[in-house]
Amino acid sequence: MPEVPIDIAHVAKLARLPLTAEEAERFSAQFGRLFEFIRELQALDVEHVHPTAQVIPLHNVLRADEIRPCLDHDAALQNAPATEGPYFKMPRILE
Amino acid sequence: MNTGHEIRDAIARHEMTALEAAEMALAAIAATEPRLQAYLQLMPERALARAREIDAAIARGQDVGLLAGVPVAVKDLFCTQGVRTTAGSKILANFVPPYSATVVRRLEAQGAIIVGKTNMDEFAMGSSCENSAFKATHNPWSIEDVPGGSSGGSAATVGARCVPIAFGTDTGGSIREPASFCGIVGVKPTYGRVSRYGIVAFASSLDQAGPMTVDVRDSADALEAIAGYDPMDSTSANVDVPHYAGRLREDLKGVRIGIVSEFDESIAADKAMHALYQRAYEDLRALGAELVTVSLPHAKYGLATYYLIAPAEASSNLARYDGARYGLRVDGPDVFSMFDATRAAGFGPEVKRRVILGTYALSSGYYDAYYVRAQKVRTLMKKDFDEAFERCDVIACPAVSCPPFQLGAKSQDPVAMYLMDYFTIPMSLAGIPAMSVPAGYVDELPVGLQLVAPAFEEGRMLGVAHAYEQATRHAWARTPMVYAGEGDAA
Amino acid sequence: MSKVIGAATDTEAVIGLEAHVELLTQSKMFCGCRNAFGAPPNTLVCPVCLGLPGSLPVANARAVEFLCKAGTALGCTIADYSKFDRKNYFYPDMPKNYQISQYDMPLTTGGEVTLPSGKSVRLTRIHLEEDTGKNVHAGESIARSAYTLVDYNRAGVPLMEIVSEPEISSAAEAEEYLAELKAVMSYIGVSDVKMHEGSLRCDANVSIRPVGSHELGTKVEIKNLNSFRSVGRAIDHEIERMRACLRDGERIVQETRGWDESSGTTHSMRSKELAHDYRYFPDPDLVPLELDRALLSRWRDELPELPAAKRARYVSDFGLSAYDAGVLTGERSDAEFFEAVAAASGNPKQAANWMMGDVRKVLDRAGLTLAEAKGTPAQVGSLIAMVAAGTISGKAAKEVIEPVIVEGRDPGDVVAQRGLAQTSDTGAVAAFVDQAVTANADSVASYKAGKEKAFEFLVGQVMKLSRGKANVEMVRGLLKERLG
């Protein structure tokens, strides 16, 4: 079984994507072959290569400080699963 | 009348109305949907109302645009104001955007009649349309086979000639591969050529919208209709949009076509596929092109590079789907539990795999080894193309490694599915335009030839495609099993 | 991580401040929604700042300009190449669950804030980012609410984050630093920097170490500071708490602590173990900034005279004290008003006294700011000149200043209307002096015998005779002359 270096439980927490034990195991197995390809990348000499910042050379794309119409309040809330008055409503924050 | 330009010309000559064209398209869809399952959402009232408006405008003598009265379909990844847009995912199953994508607004401004939203792999992640949360789409050439993905629905509906033009997106091959599988033309423009505003994001540095059509001429017009600078998209290029239809050629005299030695070797394993592509290259030569051998030495790293960069960007782009402001919500005792439960329930397995992979590639301690390194290899891959284009004008190579495969054949093996993008990924990483044009049949199933050009040279690329298409006419050689077109294609 | 430090009293405090400044642009950082306070919830939102699927950011040129101006004013180096990065974490007030910010290539580095004492506190960096929405908790507190209500009106507002080096040594210095930062920001007009409104927010990083050491001790981040005074109080409290820890042999934990104004204490918010992995990477939806040097020059030229330069000029050119210069330069518009009064009256010292004294009193009584008041610098200057010329007495002027400032009345009109002009006609005053001397022979005799009080009595008699209108200085002079 090719080695898959991902600590899936830790990454799932970062991604706020809890996985079942079955999912975690299955994904780990499925990533195996992909990591064979990924390991080939590690062997390349890229020391003097710049990472692609963007694929088409653009810079200084800025817009003038002008006001544009906002969404209608109803439109803004129209897809909200829960609202209370003019607010988006969701469960409490527990840190 | 299976092409958009034929329909538009007929409408312009008052031989037909936009309303009739729209009705015919809707009828064709109704007849074929039971077998194809290409659509997630049809928009009949809106389409007919719009068609009536177009007819009225034409009657007033107004110029209604490049695609006046042509029925089109758009992938359910494009936000359409007031019309459910799901990105093929349960997490957006009930999402109705309050705004439309720039591409959609431009299409409507050019007179196109949008008849529906097509099926797709969830969040554009997939190569077979089997990752849709809702249903699988079937290939009109063989309904046990996949139409390709992620723009599978768009490919199938055009393949069956229900509509002449559909729009998809291509991040690693998601227009070109399904175009090949469904025997149609599919174009991925230069990155930045077409606005991404309003297209549900998968991988921001790779996503591009493009046309999927019966013939090259329609792709030229459709691309012209949607291309161009958009101030709502910071990555949109401020480069003039040529009249692409004016660049279509009948022969290839003086054109140097690059044949990629590494790709030639890869495809050699499959005799039938190899033979098909060899014949395609000979057909190009017979049109007057000079064939030169070019090398893309880093193309073989494409898969690994792409499957680090694209999931990384996706993991960040998909963080917003948490049940708070729109879409699916699975409640919890506190807001973070709600986020967790919603995402666990709302995303399918392929999406979850890529979010995990992408989060890992960006995470502390791994960012340099994976994400940054992949972006460096990307630079090397782009350089390969820059060097190749010093020796040729257009590259010709395989679009796919095989003809359409059976539904279910690869869905259990994600990496086997990732390999479907082998020939298309390098062009996406380099940001250059590439397209698929029908090149014949293997086992009676369509296979496409990929053509690639330097950045912003879509005109040159479409020109070569048109010459090849007109000389070989593969798309008209056979008729798909599910076919709503006029007469026999053949 | 604890450090073994000697007696707690041999420790010194090391403080760094992180200030967030909301910028006064018309529109938000990455979209065209209006940047305003107090609008009904969720009415200043759009697909971009709500993070709807498919939305994309486009950076606000004015926000970049404001940051560059702030950076130039503080002596920062403006980067040749700068970019935006995504800071990824989940929170209900974050529409995209990432914040567009700047990580390793901020718009400026270096720079410094000079305190009134002359000490310089160096800056590490200034960068641009977008603000979050606001969580409103149903119920009294986070702990007790059953659910969260969110307003995204402020999501996407442009923020400047200004990070200082850990070179502040006391709570008092921290307050001075913030005051100076506030003055500079308001002078160049990039923010109204009001802590009580949230347009200036501040977190403090506090640590202690042995006096003379160059290593840094364990640092604690303090949040929830809502005023300059809170900043000062919280820092003092935290320094004491840390010293007490050491005295008790406890280790100082690296953590984030929240300030509670009512109890005057800090409490732990999260421990280091829950440190976020923000997975910063360059935002692929935005492109880098490589600002043209000519543009930066133009922005530099547009900067007004800054508080420190003004203060120095008031001291050297006007001969004012450093303290007075500080008071007068608190707000740019106030300083400019003072300068105009100084010019109109030709007497900066008098102008300073009036602005800091009676004008301030009138404004306070009327509940007005100088900007709201109708009086003009020319009018105030004119009043000062009238006193100098002897047209009215200083006492009368104190009465006139009120309608001048509050209603913008011409001082000459007020003097005339109220009959406040004093008599400086030598002949007329001399006549009153003669009259008083003649009528009060015994006081004259008393004075000549050495009683000073008799002189004051005689002055009073002259004033009475003139119905208070005689120029009192002139009276004294003429009386002295008359009596010999």
Q: How high does pLDDT run on average in chain C? A: 91
Contact B335 C277 (CB under 8 A): no
Provide the percentage of residues in chain C whose pLDDT is more than 70.
95
DSSP state of C358: I
Partners of residue B95 in chain C, C-beta under 8 Å: 53
Q: Name the more confident of C469 and B402.
A: B402
Verify whether residue B383 is a known catalytic residue: no
Contact C287 B234 (CB under 8 A): yes
Verify whether residue B174 is a known catalytic residue: yes
B97 closest CA partner among B107, B106, B85, B89: B85
Count of A-B CB contacts under 8 Å: 172
pLDDT at C2: 46
Q: Find the closest chain B residue to A62 by CA distance.
A: B234
Query: Which band of pLDDT confidence, cut at 50, 70 and 90, is reported for residue C408?
Result: very high
pLDDT at B411: 87
Contact B335 C92 (CB under 8 A): yes
Query: Which band of pLDDT confidence, cut at 50, 70 and 90, is reported for residue B332?
Result: very high
Q: Find the closest chain A residue to C136 by CA distance.
A: A87
- Calculate how close chain A gets to B319, using CA atoms only, in Å: 7
Mean pLDDT of B428-447: 98
Count of B-C CB contacts under 8 Å: 95
Instruction: Please report which residue ranges of B287-437 form alpha helices under DSSP H.
Output: 302-317, 335-346, 349-362, 373-388, 414-418, 425-430
Question: Which amino acid is it at C55?
Answer: S
pLDDT at C273: 44
Of the candidates B150, B180, B219, B411, the residue annotated as catalytic is B150
Mean pLDDT of B125-146: 98
Contact B382 A55 (CB under 8 A): yes
CB B70 within 8 A of CB B113: yes
Whether the predicted interface score ipTM is above 0.90: yes
Nearest by CB: B232 against C50, C56, C284: C56
Verify whether residue B315 is a known catalytic residue: no
Within a domain: residue A81?
Answer: no
Mean pLDDT of C106-123: 94
**What Rg, from alpha-carbon coordinates, does chain B have?**
21
Angle at C142 between CA C139 and CA C146, to 5 degrees: 55
CB B398 within 8 A of CB B267: yes
pLDDT at B487: 67
CB B476 within 8 A of CB B185: no
Number of Cα atoms under 13 Å in the Cβ half of residue C20 = 19
Question: Which amino acid is it at C446?
Answer: S
Contact A91 C289 (CB under 8 A): no
Q: Where are the domains of chain C?
A: 8-297, 305-418, 426-483
Contact A93 C142 (CB under 8 A): yes
Query: Which band of pLDDT confidence, cut at 50, 70 and 90, is reported for residue C206?
Result: very high
Angle at C422 between CA C419 and CA C426, to 5 degrees: 140
pLDDT at C275: 66
Mean pLDDT of A45-73: 94
Burial class (CB in 10 A: 0-12, 13-18, 19+), C75: middle
Mean pLDDT of C126-148: 82
pLDDT at C274: 56
Burial class (CB in 10 A: 0-12, 13-18, 19+), A67: middle
Q: How high does pLDDT run on average in chain B? A: 96
Three-state DSSP at C122 gives strand
Question: Which amino acid is it at A13?
Answer: K
CB C447 within 8 A of CB C483: yes
pLDDT at B486: 75
Query: What is the tens place of the pLDDT at every residue in C318-360?
Result: 999 999 998 999 889 899 999 999 999 999 999 999 999 999 9
Reply yes or no on whether the pLDDT at B431 is more than 50. yes
Nearest by CB: A56 against B303, B352, B455: B455
CB proximity list for B434: less than 8 A, separation 6 or greater: B176, B187, B188, B424, B427, B428, B450, B451, B452, B453, B461
CB proximity list for B412: less than 8 A, separation 6 or greater: none
Render B234-279 in DSSP notation, one character per residue: TT--------GGGG--S--TT-EEEEEHHHHHHHTTSHHHHHHHHH
Render A18-63 in DSSP notation, one character per residue: ---HHHHHHHHHHHHHHHHHHHHHHTS--TT----S-SS-----EE
Query: What is the tens place of the pLDDT at every residue in B470-489?
Result: 999 999 999 999 999 876 55
Ranges B131-135, B376-380, B408-412, C170-174: which has the least confidence? B408-412
The CA distance from B65 to B112, in Å, is 8
Hey, how many other C-beta atoms are within 10 angstroms of the C-beta on A2? Answer: 11
Of the candidates B127, B128, B174, B195, the residue annotated as catalytic is B174
Provide the percentage of residues in chain B whose pLDDT is more than 90.
96
Query: What is the tens place of the pLDDT at every residue in C16-52?
Result: 999 999 999 999 999 999 999 899 999 999 999 999 9
Reply yes or no on whether the pLDDT at C139 is more than 70. no
DSSP state of B142: B
CB B388 within 8 A of CB B129: no
The region, left, alpha or beta by phi > 0 then psi within -120 to 50, assigned to residue C118 is left
Fold topology of C426-483: Arc Repressor Mutant, subunit A (1.10.10)
Beta strands C134-137 and C158-164, pairing class: unpaired
Could you identify the residue written with the tokens 């990580």? C103
Contact A92 B353 (CB under 8 A): no
**What Rg, from alpha-carbon coordinates, does chain C have?**
30
Burial class (CB in 10 A: 0-12, 13-18, 19+), C138: middle
Hey, how many other C-beta atoms are within 10 angstroms of the C-beta on C385? Answer: 16
pTM: 0.92
Provide the percentage of residues in chain A whose pLDDT is more than 90.
80
Within a domain: residue A23?
Answer: yes
Mean pLDDT of B419-442: 97
Q: Give the E-state strand segments of B61-184 in sequence order.
A: 71-75, 113-118, 165-170
The CA distance from C359 to C251, in Å, is 54
Reply yes or no on whether the pLDDT at C272 is more than 80. no
Q: Which CATH number does the domain housing residue A21 bear?
A: 1.10.20
Hey, how many other C-beta atoms are within 10 angstroms of the C-beta on C389? Answer: 9
Q: Give the residue numbers spanning the domain of A26.
A: 1-47
Q: Name the more confident of B39 and C468.
A: B39
Query: Which band of pLDDT confidence, cut at 50, 70 and 90, is reported for residue C1?
Result: very low
DSSP state of B406: B
pLDDT at B483: 94
pLDDT at A1: 40
User: Which of B86, B105, B197 to substitute to test the interface with C, most C CBs within 10 Å?
Assistant: B197
**What Rg, from alpha-carbon coordinates, does chain A have?**
23
Reply yes or no on whether the pLDDT at C142 is more than 80. no
Interface list for chain C against chain B, based on CB atoms closer than 8 Å: 47, 50-59, 86, 88, 90, 92, 95-98, 148, 150, 277, 279-281, 284-287
Number of domains in chain A: 1
Within a domain: residue A12?
Answer: yes
pLDDT at C422: 81
User: Which of A72, A92, A94 to substitute to test the interface with C, most C CBs within 10 Å?
Assistant: A92
pLDDT at B464: 98
**What's the token pair of residue C346?**
């030709």
Query: Which band of pLDDT confidence, cut at 50, 70 and 90, is reported for residue C78?
Result: very high
Reply yes or no on whether the pLDDT at B303 is more than 90. yes
The CA distance from C251 to B480, in Å, is 77
Domain B4-249+407-478: give its CATH superfamily: Amidase signature (AS) domain (3.90.1300.10)
Query: What is the tens place of the pLDDT at every residue in B41-89?
Result: 999 999 999 999 999 999 999 999 999 999 999 999 999 999 999 999 9
> Which chains border B (3 or more CB–CB pairs < 8 Å)?
A, C
Hey, how many other C-beta atoms are within 10 angstroms of the C-beta on B214? Answer: 26
